Amino acid sequence: MTKQLTAIIEREDDSYVSLCPELDIASQGDTVSEARQNLQEALTLFFETASKEEINQRLHSEIYITQVEVAIG
């Protein structure tokens, strides 16, 4: 069984940080591809080791990624 999850990746200094907001699990890498792959690995390990109760507690079923406009200064 597989599940589609969100990966948000952003540059941080000389590396990239990846986050899965549905489970609040993060990883990092030297490239976007590496950060994505490391997040995928972290998620796989989580699903292999977590109890069903922990998965249900942490898994957010509705995640919205959008932009907002704010005044600066």
Domain spans in the chain, listed from the N-terminal domain onward: 8-58
pTM, 2 dp: 0.88
CA-based R_g, the chain, Å: 14
Interval 15-71: pLDDT, tens: 999 999 999 999 999 999 999 999 999 999 999 999 999 999 999 988 999 999 999
**DSSP string covering 42-62, please?**
HHHHHHHHS-HHHHHHH--S-
Cβ 20 vs Cβ 31: under 8 Å: no
CATH level 3 topology of 8-58: Double Stranded RNA Binding Domain (3.30.160)
